[in-house]
Structure 1
Amino acid sequence: MSEVTVAPPQYRRFSSVRLGQAPTMTTQASPADLPPYSRRRRDTVSQMPRREPVAHTYQLVSGSKAWAVWKVVSSAKSSKSLPTFYEKETITGTLSLDVDRFESIQAIYVTVTGRIITGAGSSDSYTFLNTSVPIWSKAAAGSKLQGSSTWPFSVPLPKTVSIPTSSGGSKLCPLPETFMERGMMASIQYDLTLRIARGKLRADSTLTTPFGYVPNSKPESPSMLRQLAYEEGCPTIPGPDVDPEGWRILPTVPVTGTLFNSRQLEARCNIAIAKPLCYTRGSVIPCTLTMDSLDVQALDLLATSKAIVVNLRRTVRYYNSPSPLNKSDVLWRELSEDVGRAVWWPSVRGRGDDYIRYLEGEIQLAKDLKPSASIAHFSVSYSVVVCPFDSPGFISSITEPLHSEPVEIATMYARGPKPRSYAPPAYSRTTPRNEEFYATMCGFPATLQ
């Protein structure tokens, strides 16, 4: 069988919003008195950025002649990048053949596949998407191919796929984003394949290229008070005391331990994160914190950005069995990594009480975070984790996380004004990165407008 496969690009030591290297070919997102927002502004915020489409060209060569030229049109940054497609897009292109003699070609078709790959073996792959579209067939044409011919093709990408469940039924799952990271055995890979099928005694010819897929997921709109703050450019957003519907107040966590090896410390900490609990990558997770204690020195020591440890944690969960049915019979694997940490600064709403500290904060989200996903035996999930306080002179009596709150990461902004960062420059922090964990196959355009 004559087969040409377009290999993925080499992994990089950094993550970028630019697409990867060119593939090489081898042989094988209310109070009634608030002012309404204009329709025009909302639509502007929620639209996807549109690039001019680019064509990716692949060939089958015999001697010095390219007898098959396959062009695939995509939304990638350049023709030298891997093809990239967004939810609701259709894969289109053309195929040109130039044959000198009658060929025993029986059919030509294009296939789109999506797979969960959890190991190196052939059995460690589960296909959740398999769509084929015919380009030409001898039976329909009534004659053999000869000379030059050109056909267009079009393959629609579904938004969801049906996945079998352990109860014998099925459920619809949104297509997940392409996922490939160094050091991670599990991946989500999409491939586009051109197959030129011949008779039984002759091998088929194929061209295969991986491609990037980006889903359109967005949060619900934030509270009207927060939208008004964003719209008017207020110096801060309303806190839980003013806008209770816009915040999720986490359970009170105890802060206990030893201070300077000389006395016990007891304090209480209340943290709130903005609702809804779904956030667009490239934006922020707004937070507030209130800490009270009778030990003023302890408050001065712990109510600081460096001492407060609130992280965004990502967990990738999967197992090696290719069947999604027998989940109880396999060993689940999990890899968790902190992919963001909150920064904190004194709140402008703070009151003059020596025994209470008020802080505002936010977790800055990297533009290339993978969105939340769950399909068959693979999932990407996130949580905001409150960890023990960390400061010189303080030894916490608790070593485990104090609280974990599940959240979601989306690719698009919610309808309404965009969220903004309020962190003062002196408090901004680059999102911590683990290069091994974040070396991706290609950096997709991070946030859909």
Structure 2
Amino acid sequence: MYDSPPPLYGVSSDDSDTGLPGYSQAVSLDAIKFDSSASFTHNLVFKGRSSNSCASLTLYGDGSFSKEFPTYLEGSTLRGLVKVNLEKPESISMVVVSIRGEIVSGRSKHAFFESSETLWFHPAKSSRKLQGEHTWPFAMNIPQQVKLTVGPNDSLRPESARLPHDCLEMRVLAGVEYQAAVRFYRPSPLKTDYRIIAPFGYIPVIRPHPPSYHRQIAYKENVEIPNPAVDPQGWCTLPPVWIAGFSRQAVKATCTLSLALPLSYTRGSVIPLYLTLQSEDIKALEALSSPNTIVCRLRRTIRYLSAEDFRETNYCHGKLGKFQHDHFELATWWLPSTQAWEKETFKRSLCGEIVLPRDLKPTTFVGQFRLEYSVVLLSFASNGLESSGSNTNQNILLTHPVQIATAFAPGPLPRSYAPEL
């Protein structure tokens, strides 16, 4: 993750002259102007003798991001308005608005930050009750960093964390939730306080470092990005893995996967890949190099360590409680262009991409909650092929961690080179 974002450079004006689509600046956080807001109002009817007494909480989110609920970009101020209309006098001692971020797992919730502001309080010497119409606007800063205390009780330690993206989905192990609330305190302990609770979203600005010089030139000039042999500084090449067995024959082949550097990719763009296959068996090599046989995906891992997990887990050895894997987008593969690809007898190379959805949640680390991503190469989808590597977990041949970001790197925007289907 990176600090405050530098300005985003424009994309080449030659985009319309090629078949290589550049990603629109509408995807980027940098190119969006916050000259409009979206309002979301939650109402409350006071219980009692008068059905006309009511209150409301309105939040004003960034108009470009707010859909189901108000959403705020890192560095934004949460603005809102509390209204109350009391037809008859009501015993209220104080009106407080608060914002809160929580890690949610099942029915348990753990707050990692909370801030509050008193909008109104009853004068100490006054016996008058609150009545009539009242309006209280408010503005609250959303912190970019939070200080946490993590670890088991016998070895607690302080830790700073970037405020995470909201992430609350059904059927997931844990997630991150934000809420704004207004509370009408009542002086009598026998009476329940009135509350209005409203969800909101938050987007941290996570920006990758720029890609290699040669890849930036390729993006700018609308040409195919250079492969690892031409641009070794622009790729992370993983150790080769052996693939054995084809049509019940003792055949050996090696597979080498490369991921474009840096290993941080903006949602709404792509993860560029490059795959090299080598074998002295031409028939096996042709089968392996068919784009339909290569199974490479983006995998999301959610990890959460609850208080109970601390008692059951050897925390000192780095184990992190419960986890959940989800496989996302499948990579698309194609042969390099005829200008850049020469068919070698015992070697085949393919270009690939994993398309990242625009609403993909970014990589997150906060307290005992982790949302991580990796690129995994699975067993080839061809009959009679087996991997000879030691990693047999879910037929994974290769895996490597990557970061998902929310903003583009400085320089020309990334492009998709996958052929149209």
- Higher mean C-alpha displacement, 56-65 vs 177-186: 56-65
The structure 1 residue matched to 2:32, chosen from 31, 49, 69, is 49
2:93 is the alignment partner of 1:109: no
Residue of structure 2 in register with 1:411 after alignment: 406
Residue by residue over 1:409-437, the C-alpha shift from the partner in whole angstroms, topping out at 9 and shown as x without a partner, is: 111111211111101113xxxxxxxxxxx
- Residues 8, 408 of structure 2: 8 Å contact kept: no
**Distance (whole Å) between structure 1 residues aligned to residue 264 and residue 311 of structure 2:** 29
**Distance (whole Å) between structure 2 residues aligned to residue 77 and residue 224 of structure 1:** 32
**Distance (whole Å) between structure 1 residues aligned to residue 80 and residue 29 of structure 2:** 28
2:352 is the alignment partner of 1:364: no
Q: CA deviation at 1:172?
A: 1.0
- Residues 125, 322 of structure 1: 8 Å contact kept: no
For 1:107-186, what aligned pairs fall within 5 Å after superposition? 107-120=94-107, 124-139=108-123, 144=128, 145-166=130-151, 167-186=155-174
The structure 2 residue matched to 1:342, chosen from 314, 318, 331, is 331
2:209 is the alignment partner of 1:220: yes
Q: CA deviation at 1:358?
A: 1.6
TM-score after normalising by structure 1: 0.78
**Identity percentage of aligned residues:** 35
- Higher mean C-alpha displacement, 97-106 vs 311-320: 97-106
Residue of structure 2 in register with 1:439 after alignment: none
Q: CA RMSD in A?
A: 2.8
The structure 2 residue matched to 1:207, chosen from 196, 201, 214, is 196
Residue of structure 2 in register with 1:266 after alignment: 252
2:264 is the alignment partner of 1:278: yes
RCO comparison, higher one (Cα < 8 Å, 6+): 1
Q: CA deviation at 1:141?
A: 10
Residue of structure 2 in register with 1:232 after alignment: 221
Residue by residue over 1:70-112, the C-alpha shift from the partner in whole angstroms, topping out at 9 and shown as x without a partner, is: 2221125799832222221111122222334544322111111
- Higher mean C-alpha displacement, 203-212 vs 45-54: 45-54
**Distance (whole Å) between structure 1 residues aligned to residue 117 and residue 341 of structure 2:** 63
- Residues 56, 80 of structure 1: 8 Å contact kept: no
For 1:12-51, what aligned pairs fall within 5 Å after superposition? 41=10, 47-50=30-33
For 1:317-356, what aligned pairs fall within 5 Å after superposition? 317-321=303-307, 328=314, 332-348=321-337, 349-356=340-347
- Residues 165, 325 of structure 1: 8 Å contact kept: no
Residue of structure 2 in register with 1:4 after alignment: none
**Distance (whole Å) between structure 2 residues aligned to residue 143 and residue 280 of structure 1:** 58
**Distance (whole Å) between structure 2 residues aligned to residue 322 and residue 112 of structure 1:** 27
Residue by residue over 1:197-221, the C-alpha shift from the partner in whole angstroms, topping out at 9 and shown as x without a partner, is: 1213443211011222222212111
- Higher mean C-alpha displacement, 99-108 vs 170-179: 99-108
Structure 1 unaligned blocks of 5 or more = 1-28, 30-37, 427-449
2:71 is the alignment partner of 1:84: yes
Q: Which amino acid aligns with 1:300?
A: E
Residue by residue over 1:51-80, the C-alpha shift from the partner in whole angstroms, topping out at 9 and shown as x without a partner, is: 620222222224442432322211257998
Sort the Cα spacing of 1:141 and 1:50 in 2 relative to 1 into closer, same or farther, 3 A.
Answer: farther
TM-score after normalising by structure 2: 0.83
**Distance (whole Å) between structure 2 residues aligned to residue 59 and residue 40 of structure 1:** 44
**Distance (whole Å) between structure 2 residues aligned to residue 353 and residue 170 of structure 1:** 56
